[in-house]
Amino acid sequence: MSVTGMGRLGMLVILLAVLATGASACSPGTAADSGGHSDSLAALQQGAVSYTLIEAQSSLPVGAGRFVFGVAPSKGEPVSGLSPQVWVGREQGSPARGPFPARWVTWTAPQTDRYGAPPVPGFYEADIVIPAPGKWSVLARATVNGRAVAALGDIPVYANPSASVGSPAIGTSTPVADSPEAAAAIDTRDPPTPMHYVSLDTALSNGLPTVLVFATPLLCESRMCGSVVDEVLDVYDHVGRTRANFVDVEIYPTRDTNRPAPAFLRWRFESEPWVLVIDRSGTVRGRFEGPVVSPEIQAALQPLLSS
């Protein structure tokens, strides 16, 4: 099965895999009301060098959302360590909403997966607000070596996306392993994680909050799965299974990309990896598509833990 939407993440890895150290530059963005209106997207691109916007997500929700991306010149390596500003708009000539400040995020967890070496040292992340569903354009603008650069892309926005925050989690049986050998049979990570000890349906009914990750470290098209699982594993090591459930669902347990795991299909995901934080009543409270780091997962989980 070819998972629709993975092409966007495939583009991410194709463009970012060439990054060894990344060009480093930084320019502070201008302060403004991030929910307000500004110039049009077309006007914001005037005088700026055109860059490529590398989107790490298949879609965004209406309202507040987390936008993860990279930027790269048309011929060259992606650029790290900037302080981009992000705008969104319906049309090139219509007023743009923003700016939303973006931050540079680096991986934080030990990389212990044989297949999990990240293709990039980090990613950009912005908290943005999109007021309505449909196709939206996203513009990231920054300064590189004293010159303004602008990267433009499009992304679909949905009113009720899969696993939206506030929606009920989908309780379904997931494979369980009681030994490293059994885990290796259902996990493409090398070595397999210890987070196969409880089925998702059991986790959602045992009175603990749950961290759920869908990933496939060996077969990951985006090449982000191994690193993201390492970040979840870091939270597992710090929190422990007595305070929260940790459920690691391998997307391709038979190592056949034409046969995704039933749980993955039930959640209607079209990309990888995914991390969800679910409260003890079974409601999704944290939603992370694509790259995410341990402190972000921990921040979503912490309010749900018993003191």
Same domain, 35 and 109: yes
- Report the candidate in 150, 107, 142 with the shortest Cα–Cα distance to residue 25: 142
Residue 146, domain CATH? 2.60.40.10
Residue 23 has pLDDT above 80, yes or no: no
Quote the number of domains for the chain.
Answer: 2
Tell me what the pLDDT averaged over the chain comes to: 89
Is residue 183 within 8 Å of residue 192, measured between CB atoms? yes
Q: Which two tokens stand for residue 270?
A: 């079209």
What is the pLDDT, as a whole number, of residue 93?
Answer: 86
Same domain, 77 and 140: yes
Binning pLDDT at 50, 70 and 90, where does residue 78 land? Answer: confident
d(CA 97, CA 151): 16
What is the pLDDT, as a whole number, of residue 36?
Answer: 55
Residue 243, domain CATH? 3.40.30.10
In which domain, by residue range, is 82 found?
Answer: 6-158
What is the pLDDT, as a whole number, of residue 283?
Answer: 98
What is the pLDDT, as a whole number, of residue 26?
Answer: 34
Query: Mean pLDDT throughout 36-40?
Result: 71
Same domain, 154 and 196: no
**Rounded to two decimals, what is the model's pTM?**
0.87
pLDDT tens for each residue of 245-303 = 999 999 999 999 999 999 999 999 999 999 999 999 999 999 999 999 999 999 999 99
Query: Mean pLDDT throughout 16-45?
Result: 53
Binning pLDDT at 50, 70 and 90, where does residue 91 land? Answer: confident
Same domain, 25 and 141: yes
242: exposed, middle or buried (C-beta count within 10 Å: 0-12, 13-18, 19+)?
Answer: exposed
The number of CA neighbours under 13 Å toward the Cβ of 34 is 15
Handedness of CA 256, 257, 259, 261 (dihedral sign): positive
Query: Mean pLDDT throughout 13-37?
Result: 40
Residue 77 has pLDDT above 90, yes or no: no
Distances (CA, A) of 7 to 56, 202, 229, 271: 10, 34, 21, 9
Same domain, 216 and 254: yes
DSSP 222-275: SS-HHHHHHHHHHHHHHH-TTTSEEEEEES-TTS-TTS--HHHHHTT--SS-EE
Q: Which two tokens stand for residue 89?
A: 């708009």
Residue 85 has pLDDT above 80, yes or no: yes
